[in-house]
Structure 1
Amino acid sequence: MYMMKRRSGLSTIKFVKNNKKKVFIVVISLTICIMCMYIVNFMLQSIKESGKPICENIPRKVIYARLSNKTLGVSTQGMTEEEATEAIRNKREEFINKLESVDRIRNVYYTQCLNGLIRNVVGEYWYNQPLLDVEEIPDYLDFIGAKLILGRLPQTDGEIVLDSVVMKNNGYQVGDYYLKDVWDEGFKIVGELESDSYALCGTANGFMNSGWYFVIEHDGSIQDIDKVLEKIGVNTCEDDVIEDAIHVKQDYDREVGNIIDSIVDYMFLGVAILVAFAILILFISFIRERQNELCLYRSIGFSRGDIYILMMKELGFMFGLSVVLSVIATYGMMVFMKAVMFVPRGLICAYYYPDSIIAIIAMLVLILGILQLPVIYTISRIRTVDKMED
């Protein structure tokens, strides 16, 4: 009974009550670090989330291809300008006929395109969208699943309809001019769309465009258009621009995704090292101040194992409380940021990132592992009170 009372005296709660300020510093420091790590990751990952409609939804229905004369099999050497233009036109028509003969392809346009624009928290996305004839627009919008929810469809040159998310993101209203700083009053927004692919469609205004492309409507089964082109005798080269699911994903990963992942990885590593160092220094000072207390525990009969378990419980309490507080604070901050920063700008974000959670847990385990060193060293040097006096 006496031993049970003595052992019950090694209480984590007593340590917390007697060291409120120190425990508060550790808990708050860890909480802020965890929260900041996840919030920064949340903001960076939102860039990837907002890019998914461009990488996944647009190529699922429509592929854009800008092919060189070499790929089309045109040689204009020795031709006059008129002859070259005619030869290229004929090859394009031949290419379209071959492509439309493929069962999985619904329709092919060769047309001017206009860049859509999504402004993100950091950076911006540009993506191609078609400028068609007035009579072609309803069929195209129906094919991609875009619905007109406000205004009207284009009826004359230089009119466009635009996805509601893109309008919100850029602060547009029906009647505004699209990218006025680029096109002046070249393209007027006459309607608002609801779609899952940041849809933009309209009519050309002269030759104001972001390029001429083959716009290929397909049944959703084509991931790599190169394989389809090979079957009809067309081999692409490095001068061509292809925007299908494979190529868009590769470009996106190279220019955005991989960079963001690297930033997150380096950030987590840097924070882990700094936090581990700071907590280690702080914890060593704790242990030094408790040297007499630990020696007293040893003197009244507690084993080194008992003292080790006590110190692990204390660390576990501080780390556990930090995790709980950081989860609550981080979730609240993300909800607030989504309502204030993301939703008004039409941006997409997610709350749950398993890889980041695993990385944070790994950081905490690493810090706990490092803290074993001063704990084990201190316990190995604990002496009883009578030996301290010798």
Structure 2
Amino acid sequence: MRIKLNLLIISFAILISICFSFNLEQAKASENLKFVNKYGIEITESDYNRLISLGFEDEQIQNMNAEEYDINKEMYGETINVLKQYVKTTYLYDQTPPIDKSVKDKSVKSSKSMLVEENEPELVDEKVEYLSKEEFEQQLKYDTQNQLGKNKINNSIALSPDEGTDSTSYKIITVKLTKIASKEWKVSTTLEWKKVPATRSKDIISAAIRYPDDFVINHTKRYGSQYYESTGVNAKQQSKTYNELITYGANSGNWLNEGYEGDGLVQNLRNNFYDAGYNYKVTYFKNYMYFYFNLDVKSYSHSNVQVSGSYVHQINTSPFSVSDISLTYGAPSITIGKNDEEKFDTPIYARAYVPY
């Protein structure tokens, strides 16, 4: 009798286990699928909300490949702080007339390798202005309308950089700091060019941590990208567009690996190019990078965790030494070696913090 009772109990336990497993699989299968992204990754509603909590935007989730998805797998953000700075930079160059030339672009792995460049004018002066959102939009609109007038006279449809003796760029720098857990954070820096610069070479996008002795950067959990849009015109004045997303994985050779205070990416900005009968002018850039970092001390004596996101633009195409670049939370946030200082403009920055 006791044996039969034990067998009955075991059979009942097995039945309960099977039913539970079946219901669990059914629940997983019935979870709402939000979309399948560009790289074939199935993003469910809960997965989408999880990635949003980490500070990602819809566009970034749509373009997330398997490597980046795995970096951020099974992680949840608790608190996010975002700060934007609206920056206008005016460059005054010498009055040497531009000379067109065509060369091969060896820095970008793309089928569209033929680019169109201009000679490098000498920078005479520079002015950096941090504007309110309203001031930024008003001045950008005014300059854009003036540029449209120039393009109409020159029979061109693309919004190209200013030409002649001065050039004005409009850019928005955004830093996001996300608290992941009690001892882990994620910082991202985004630079959005609303009006692209005349000179495009190797720029640096980065982030640094305040009180770096208390933290350690996880160099295996980092990622970056450069997105650009371009408009091409052929001899018949027909136009077409071409957009591309260039990515930088955790093991990319473009990372600075700059010690313990921060990290950053060297990104070669896409230049104008020629392809299949069309002259393309790049009209928009969006540069992006992020990394995770962890607390490395038993006791943290500050009430907030603070970061500074920074960006510096190279104003000529001369080579420079990456080993002489350093990152700090304070000003200047990106320090260039003395031999290379004149090759870059003034670094711009934005700062964010979250309560510890």
TM-score range, shorter chain: under 0.3
Using the size of structure 1 for normalisation, the TM-score is 0.22
Where is the strand percentage greater, Structure 1 or Structure 2? 2
More contact order relative to length (CA 8 Å, sep ≥ 6): 1
Larger Rg: 1
Using the size of structure 2 for normalisation, the TM-score is 0.23
